[in-house]
Structure 1
């Protein structure tokens, strides 16, 4: 008996829940994983390095799980932590024989979910916390299955000791337990000292670089051209922050963020917690959110919205200081999967957080993740879904409210094979964000990492390109800018393209079609004047770049050979492939998969005959591989609906915005679809994989190349 009471004393001292053993109970304590909330979501915050095994946890009760692949008998499939004897947590074994931590499964079923997260069997008996009035004396509380005796001492748990004031647990418990406010103007104030210090740094060490290319360098004097192509290329300044490798005293390597000043971010995450997210999906989402929280800086602010049948703000917009990160981790760990899927309501609440904030960081964005169909407002039927969301969502989502100046891009992530790809793609297109398709659960963290790797490296705000004709006989016929808003005056003498924000090292390529008149005397013709203006996000200063003139030579004769610009041909191929994707998707939605496959095959054949393809251009080769992958995902109706539709829409999003999206089951640089990854994105994905695999970062990811870059020797 004395040994049993010693175990109880130790339990109180460790602030853990344990069984109260009956007289005939085994002396050995039940299974447990002393894996804390912070350790589950953020190993680094619990004393673990990103590399995996660098430092010892601050408490002996923290044991880092070594693998995701442990059997369900040794691992709780809700929190993914191991279940070992002797560590003080109760274990619930269901009638289907699967076991879980009591704390995890009780939280999972208290909202009415009585289905096993592993085998989906319907339970007759579930662990439920007893009513308030039935709390036993001496600070004990009950978690009992339905119809089990309230007096069964084996099922009685000791209540944890309340956290000490100012302790991390006390701070984490401060996350809004009460009702939501009607106005979300409780965002944490910005630190003006940090802002002023950041702004004082000369952030414009390099400016946006503007280049122009003509499809051919010269046109004969006595020949006119009605559809002559000019390429305008923007290149953002190089990265202002990144990831570097460091060594510990034990010789292990891990990644840490370079603290070079950058534009701070306001980030709102809108997360699907419907019933279909139960189990491993929700656990991996929590872990991915833990990675996001780790990598935000003290000047960045984060808010968390969860939605199922309804939506709720779990965490207000707060700075990611040490205490802010702990509170954010607690909020994320409180997520429970149940109910339906109300995407529109979740987005409304996420946008409201952005609109009601009293102060704004230079960069603002929403991350939306869902694994299902919107069962409340949208039926997801083609273009109708986009029109529905335009009516349902605030104007600030539609690329910016002209009166308020708010622009809130939504980066949407379709998770699994059952999500509504059409609606998710529509939301991202409306707002100016990207749509990513996460086919495999295991890469959700890498997908988030790629996204925030870009958001944490914004070096250009509100960029705008203007074009003017330099010759009264030259008119602008067409602007090919993908999804970017562009305007062309009726007289064809001027136009503009709203480029928006640029991540460090990003490129934007726009094609302009003009006419070229005959020349009788001049040896060259001035075509266009290109201007670019943008805002530096750090200094808030407006930068006006020196204009660039587009001029073409006009010799009397060209000779036998005409040199075609590879740069221009490459972008023509990109636009042609994107158009083929649109046409193929339309045919597939109408039920004609054979015609859709034929359209993609015809595009591949045309691309193979282009100058860039024959020269061995990697961009063209990657486009061909991407189109082939889309053909394979249209092999059957089932395959198209499970992955083909989402894969094509993610590809269209990537090419129309010229920005990297996660596609399929990997964000690995070896995948040919990663055309637009920047070094900052690559660094963050490397960091993500290092944290998951526990290996040195430099061994994890093969070199990432851009479609627009020449093949390395």
Structure 2
């Protein structure tokens, strides 16, 4: 008979909720913010049998030693004992069990918690699992409240039911893993010794930003006063470093929609795109992934993309499943916390957000009132706080393009429209190509008037903050980050007084911080000198200035057309776009200019997509907003079917973006083949009838992208 203290210990264990310090919990890689774990200890089946044998030793046969004996690996050898919580597992007694492909069985809530913390191998035999128990928002919700309420008899063993089949009357205990309010568990970096971003190779001297200027006309008669004389200021960022080890490392947080509408091919392509992102990052770049549906959860903290880090990240991405609603705001809040509470910081940081739906949890406007999309964006990542640009990607016809565009605009990021299902990876590749080539940060263009009487009237700066100060004697444009070889054009208008002799108009300069060395650099541009002959001047407008005026006016008309379409006046919207297109086509001096021709094609595409309400809601709104985002920031965005166009559509692409795009497109045939294999089933007669074939639709989705053109002044 067992000692009295042993019987008392077992009796207490059947009734108490025991609290153990986190360091004693048999969960590998427990999160740092976990202060304790609560376990409701069930009655072990083996110990219950022992009590029965102690009561009737003559009638009950002794339990086999294997039921209590530990295996060589340290796990319980009995199939009736959960190797994680050491509790009994009894089929038919309301317990949810999970049987892995290696044939070992565990409590479902135990192994789900174990997998949620990053363990993808069997705790007993260490076999690597391909099929994992569900990791999703329901478990996260359960962890937040301490219990998960399900009816195990309503769903197959080892699988979690849909959220709408949850039975709130039955419950089973789970590990409580409260999420910390501070995401300060990022993998540490040493910026002094990191191979990437630790300095430039050898005696490499960093190039500086180039400043070029073009006047509207080459000269003005000396007796003439010009109230609005245009000057184009053209900036070009330095080239990308000669070696990868010389670039600035990146902290990236991706916020991914895994709601129910992402199920199937969408989620498969998103995983492929994220795999490409992971493989494209360097060893000193760090990545964290936030997934969201009805709520948001962090798959893993910021971790360096070393060989091990990539492997762990790929495993986490592959385990994603799609279900639930769309809570964009919660996903961005989690991403903001990751960025805000970093212990160490890489020089470059950004957030990427992808969604195919509408946030119905935060943005709920009153009847007749416009939605307040500002509620989606945490203030901590906006300018004035820990400013982090959010690059948003609206996927498919059902996403909220107005919300995604607003999130990007408020944070200084870009909005891209992914029309075809097979374009996710290309869209991500273009964005990553830019983020991995940042050469200048906190760039600011300053403009000083030179001669007396010259006054600065206005600055056409698009989405960039700008201003005229000092009673019109100076001005500025806050540009922020610049990718390698990226270009910016800003039109300024000045008052030119009548004067004898040449007139010095402005003195441009640019100050910025080198992204690699963190050194502050100031570049002084040449003074803009305007000749003042005594006789009238007959000269054509500068083609550079005329081209930029065309772009500025076209952008204004795009915004006006969008406003008309939002008022359901689609005829007026189409008329605005057509008028601007015809005006560009009649510009004789730029009739053969590729950028002007591409702008004409872009306006025609927008006109086609605003011909009626259905067309506008399906793709017109998103296409126009992506165009406005691109022109506002002078940065490349994805535009649905815009890969059919050339020139200005790709004008803002940098060599780094194009290189990353080519790498992505080189993998597309492999992706198509893999997806076709995954979709191969025993087809019925209706499934093989052309348009419904998955192979044909995927082939169309992955059609080859045409050549890209660079930007020229």
Q: TM-score, normalised by structure 1?
A: 0.70
Between structure 1 and structure 2, the one with the greater Rg is: 2
CA gap of 1:302–1:495, structure 2 versus 1, over 3 A, is: same
Q: Does 1:413 pair with 2:416?
A: no
Residue 634 of structure 1 deviates from its aligned partner by 1.0
Q: Does 1:540 pair with 2:540?
A: no
Q: 2:527 aligns with which of 549, 553, 557?
A: 549
CA gap of 1:143–1:365, structure 2 versus 1, over 3 A, is: closer
Q: Does 1:17 pair with 2:101?
A: yes
SS in 1 for 2:374: helix
CA gap of 1:503–1:383, structure 2 versus 1, over 3 A, is: farther
Q: 2:473 aligns with which of 493, 505, 509?
A: 493
Q: 2:413 aligns with which of 419, 433, 436?
A: 433
Contact 2:197 2:248 in 1 (8 A): no
Contact 1:342 1:376 in 2 (8 A): yes
SS in 1 for 2:408: helix
- Which segment drifts farther, 361-370 or 336-345? 336-345
Q: 1:630 aligns with which of 586, 591, 606?
A: 606
Q: 1:645 aligns with which of 621, 643, 666?
A: 621
Which residue pairs with 2:382 in the alignment? Answer: 398
CA gap of 1:177–1:198, structure 2 versus 1, over 3 A, is: farther
SS in 2 for 1:212: strand
SS in 2 for 1:473: coil
CA gap of 1:366–1:126, structure 2 versus 1, over 3 A, is: farther
Contact 1:400 1:408 in 2 (8 A): no
Contact 2:503 2:530 in 1 (8 A): yes
SS in 1 for 2:577: helix
SS in 2 for 1:495: strand
Q: Does 1:589 pair with 2:566?
A: yes
Please give the per-residue CA displacement for 1:393-442, whole angstroms capped at 9, x wherever unaligned.
333332342xxxx2200000000000000010000000000000001110
CA gap of 1:436–1:351, structure 2 versus 1, over 3 A, is: same
Which residue pairs with 2:180 in the alignment? Answer: 181
SS in 1 for 2:640: coil
Which residue pairs with 1:442 in the alignment? Answer: 422
SS in 2 for 1:540: coil
Distance 2:196 2:356 in 1: 41
In the alignment, structure 1 segments of 5+ residues that lack a partner are 1-14, 21-36, 38-60, 63-87, 90-102, 113-124, 131-141, 147-175, 242-257
CA gap of 1:554–1:379, structure 2 versus 1, over 3 A, is: farther
Distance 1:681 1:238 in 2: 13
Contact 2:134 2:159 in 1 (8 A): no
Which residue pairs with 1:709 in the alignment? Answer: 712
CA gap of 1:542–1:108, structure 2 versus 1, over 3 A, is: closer
Which residue pairs with 2:577 in the alignment? Answer: 600
Distance 2:398 2:196 in 1: 47
Q: 1:609 aligns with which of 572, 583, 586?
A: 586
Distance 2:161 2:574 in 1: 54
SS in 2 for 1:303: strand
Contact 1:447 1:667 in 2 (8 A): no
Contact 2:446 2:510 in 1 (8 A): yes
By relative contact order (CA 8 Å, sep 6+), the higher-ranking structure is: 1
CA gap of 1:505–1:299, structure 2 versus 1, over 3 A, is: same
Which residue pairs with 1:44 in the alignment? Answer: none
SS in 2 for 1:477: strand
Q: Does 1:232 pair with 2:217?
A: no
SS in 1 for 2:358: coil
Which residue pairs with 2:193 in the alignment? Answer: 193
Contact 2:362 2:375 in 1 (8 A): no
Contact 1:382 1:422 in 2 (8 A): no
CA gap of 1:297–1:385, structure 2 versus 1, over 3 A, is: farther
Distance 2:651 2:286 in 1: 30
CA gap of 1:446–1:479, structure 2 versus 1, over 3 A, is: same
Distance 1:381 1:416 in 2: 26
Distance 2:238 2:558 in 1: 31
Distance 1:381 1:219 in 2: 57
* Aligned residue runs from structure 1 range 459-474, under 5 A: 459-474=439-454
Distance 2:204 2:404 in 1: 35
Which residue pairs with 2:459 in the alignment? Answer: 479
SS in 2 for 1:193: coil
Distance 2:333 2:159 in 1: 36
Residue 107 of structure 1 deviates from its aligned partner by 4.2
Residue 653 of structure 1 deviates from its aligned partner by 0.3
Residue 19 of structure 1 deviates from its aligned partner by 9.4
Residue 128 of structure 1 deviates from its aligned partner by 4.4
Residue 197 of structure 1 deviates from its aligned partner by 7.1
Q: TM-score, normalised by structure 2?
A: 0.70
Please give the per-residue CA displacement for 1:346-391, whole angstroms capped at 9, x wherever unaligned.
11110110001011101000000000011111148999777x3435
Which residue pairs with 1:527 in the alignment? Answer: 505
Q: 2:557 aligns with which of 567, 580, 586?
A: 580
Residue 180 of structure 1 deviates from its aligned partner by 2.7
Distance 2:392 2:218 in 1: 42
* Aligned residue runs from structure 1 range 367-382, under 5 A: 367-379=352-364
Q: Does 1:326 pair with 2:311?
A: yes
Residue 144 of structure 1 deviates from its aligned partner by 11
Which residue pairs with 1:289 in the alignment? Answer: 274
SS in 2 for 1:548: coil
Which residue pairs with 2:404 in the alignment? Answer: 424
Q: Does 1:262 pair with 2:262?
A: no
Please give the per-residue CA displacement for 1:479-524, whole angstroms capped at 9, x wherever unaligned.
10000011211611111100110001110000001111111x32x1
Contact 1:669 1:705 in 2 (8 A): no
Q: Does 1:303 pair with 2:288?
A: yes
Which residue pairs with 2:298 in the alignment? Answer: 313
SS in 2 for 1:673: helix
Please give the per-residue CA displacement for 1:45-66, whole angstroms capped at 9, x wherever unaligned.
xxxxxxxxxxxxxxxx99xxxx
SS in 2 for 1:557: coil
Distance 2:595 2:193 in 1: 45
Contact 2:250 2:435 in 1 (8 A): yes
Q: Does 1:278 pair with 2:263?
A: yes
Please give the per-residue CA displacement for 1:254-285, whole angstroms capped at 9, x wherever unaligned.
xxxx6342100000001111111111111111
